[in-house]
Homo-oligomer: A and B are copies of this chain.
């Protein structure tokens, strides 16, 4: 049995980790910890975790997190390093936060304004060579949900040289669960239902440097991106429309062939059959990513669309996928359910 703990269990990422892990035969749910909610009952925070409702939330201490095979960190930005330092060397540590994603300390400083904690192997097995790296690590930095979506949308085009990563434009409607359970007025249901709103406009979103870092890994020499997230009335999901100038004229058929070749055999990324375009409902609660691509001749741009569930493949599912690799388990273990639609 793999004994796991979740530090920061009361938030949405923590809840999704437990939803996926609690039904596994090979996993034992160990300590569930939080700071301000220590002493409460898990069901007060996650009423959907039917089999765990009466579990007590413990304090996030070294003692409580000791003795687990895997510890998931679902903590606010900047809090992971301190907790990670208390864990044993043989513990697999999976950080669902941003702390260890960026390789550039300057990028970190620019976007977060705090000291850079370091860089851990990046939990996106679909990047070239990354699956192997994750198989031999004890520390995993789970990617951000937008970088995962946008990177998977454009990766085949970058790798095949159809686009060069310059002047990419991405607009991505998403639901509020990506923002966590923060008690902010603009995240209230009354504000969000029936409304679409842009935020983080103009290059200020913290996921921008992570996206560019991924583009570079995929061969882009001088990537640039205009990225705009949009809040829309659904709890979960990201639908990214990603366009980039074509390096040379191309047909939609050729673009589809490059994508088909690139994603052939990938367990969780699916190029949809021709004529079908991604929709977030189709991947709700699942670890799948749905992708489609077309060429807009008039605009001279490739247009790729990708849909995923920000809490599953975008956070907790992706985290477990990487954990499976680090533990030498089948990569898809516990992650094969399909989207809950309609």
Contacts and interface: CB of A to CB of B under 8 A. Distances in A.
Given A189-B192, A276-B44, A337-B337, A50 B270 contact: yes
B196 A286 contact: no
What copy number does this chain have within its complex? Answer: 4
A117 B12 CA distance: 42
Given A48-B341, A228-B305, 12 more contacts: A12-B342, A44-B276, A48-B284, A169-B299, A183-B183, A187-B188, A187-B189, A188-B188, A202-B294, A203-B297, A226-B303, A232-B234
Interface of A: 12, 15, 19, 22-23, 41, 43-44, 46-51, 53-54, 167, 169, 171, 173, 175-177, 181, 183-185, 187-199, 201-203, 208, 224-226, 228, 230, 232-237, 239, 241, 243, 245, 252, 270, 272-273, 276-286, 288, 290, 292, 294-301, 303, 305, 307, 336-342
Given A23-B336, A336-B23, A202 B283 contact: no
A184 to B, nearest CB: 7
Contacts of A23: 336-338
B272 A197 contact: no
Contact of A252 (B48, B202, B272): B202
Contact of A196 (B22, B203, B237): B237
B201 A303 contact: yes
B273 A53 contact: yes
A78 to B, nearest CB: 23
B234 A196 contact: yes
Nearest to A54: B273
Nearest to A212: B298
B226 A301 contact: yes
B173 A173 contact: yes
A226 B304 CA distance: 12
Contacts of A198: 239, 241, 277-279, 292, 305
A183 B232 CA distance: 20
B281 A342 contact: no
Residue among A43, A197, A342 having the largest count of chain B Cβ atoms under 10 Å: A342
Contacts of A49: 338
